[in-house]
Copies of this chain bind each other. A is one copy, B any other.
Amino acid sequence: MPTVHVNLGPRSYDIEIASGNLREAAKLCDAEADDAQTVIITDSHVAEHYVDPVVEALEGLGCDVSVLEVDPGEPSKAPEVATELWEEMLDHGADRKTVVLALGGGVVGDLAGFVAATFSRGLRFVQVPTTLLAQVDSSVGGKVGVNLSAGKNMVGAFWQPRGVLIDVATLNTLPDREFRAGLAEVVKYGVIQDAEFFAYLENNVAKVNARDAEVLTYIVQRCCRLKADVVEQDEREETGVRAILNYGHTFCHAFEAGTGYETLLHGEGVAIGMMCAARLAERMGRVDAAFVERQRKLLTAFELPLDVPDVDRDELVELMYRDKKVERGKLRFVLPTQMGHVELVRGVANEDVLAAMEA
């Protein structure tokens, strides 16, 4: 089974990636469990398709399993839902040896990870991501947390899983729009870190769109490796290295906030944001028009939206200043210099930001 090893000293772990390996999640948990209880946190959509095989596999290994379901969607990523889960875990007899298994997309992973990081001052935690976005991004790197009413991901922790199991076959039930949104982050890794991988995507558009299991396994593995390379250098987002993962995200967060988090999926916002960041880099003489066109072409092949949402442009700039990535009142952007390489650029002028939002 393809494995990505995330080297974080005492917090190191493996990401196992295959197609049809969902039941193997039980082994990952059991290895961690030593006759302890496993609590699966999932949402009702994911549970419908995937919770039974995982529960059966765990019970087959003699584990005591409890399943806690939350409502699907971003509103579940809230302190109030975390509180409900903490109370339910206590009702189910969870103790400091309990293992938490997150089965679902980014919301479930972030929420369950936060609950695991804080219940009894920290429980062992296994990620089983079932969306493309979670498989290539949110399940890797240990960022867990919940949203506040006025700010996304404002409460949380760095809490590494003990292991991640990825079954790309779970992507077969993912709605088309969510699958494509995940591809935006896949393209991102090519742009920021790996020109060869970008070319691989260009050469395999049809297979990607057909969700070919072999191609998806390779893509997820490559993205996890690329993200792990960054996280290994900057686990707690202290040195600035991890910031490159935010390519397109300063724009994206403004688009998400400006549309009330209701119109765009996160990956869609990332795709539009990447186009703005590429145009900004072109305007600043960092890349040429061919670079921008190449990125546009691949994102278009994956049928991602690329138009800046219909929100007042000055309001969008205003929102960028409220992002938690602002540093002492200055906007900073991750901008490409060539395919496979980006840099953190400080003190970009508002007029350039405004111009970059015009296609």
Interface 1/0 per residue, A116-132 and B, CB below 8 Å: 01111110000000000
CB <8 Å contact, B118 and A118 = yes
Q: Which residues of B contact A121 (CB under 8 A)?
A: 143, 145, 156-158, 236-237
Complex Cα–Cα for A36 and B332 (A) = 19
Q: Which residue of B lies closest to A79 (CB)?
A: B83
Instruction: Tell me how many chains of this kind the complex includes.
Output: 2
Instruction: Give the chain B neighbours of A197 by CB distance below 8 A.
Output: none
* A155-B324 contact given A79-B79, A118-B118, CB 8 Å threshold: no
Interface: A95 (CB within 8 A): yes
Q: Is the CB of B120 within 8 A of A324?
A: yes
What CA separation (Å) do A114 and B157 show in the bound complex? 11
| Interface magnitude class on chain A | 20 to 34
**Chain A 207-248 interface residues, beta-carbon cutoff 8 Å to B:** 236-237
A351 contacts B by Cβ under 8 Å: no
By a beta-carbon cutoff of 8 Å, the part of chain A in contact with chain B is 79-80, 82-83, 86-87, 90-91, 95-96, 114, 117-122, 143, 145, 148-151, 154-158, 236-237, 324
Residues of B contacting A154 with CB < 8 Å?
86, 90, 119-120
Once bound together, how far apart are the Cα atoms of A157 and B121, in whole Å? 4
Q: Would B324 and A148 count as touching, CB distance under 8 A?
A: no
Name the distance in Å between A186's Cβ and chain B's nearest Cβ: 25
How far is the CB of A33 from the nearest CB of chain B, in Å? 13
Contact of A91 with B157 in the complex, beta carbons under 8 Å: no
Known: A79-B82, A83-B79. A122 touches B157 (CB 8 A): yes
- CB of A96, distance to nearest CB on chain B (Å): 7
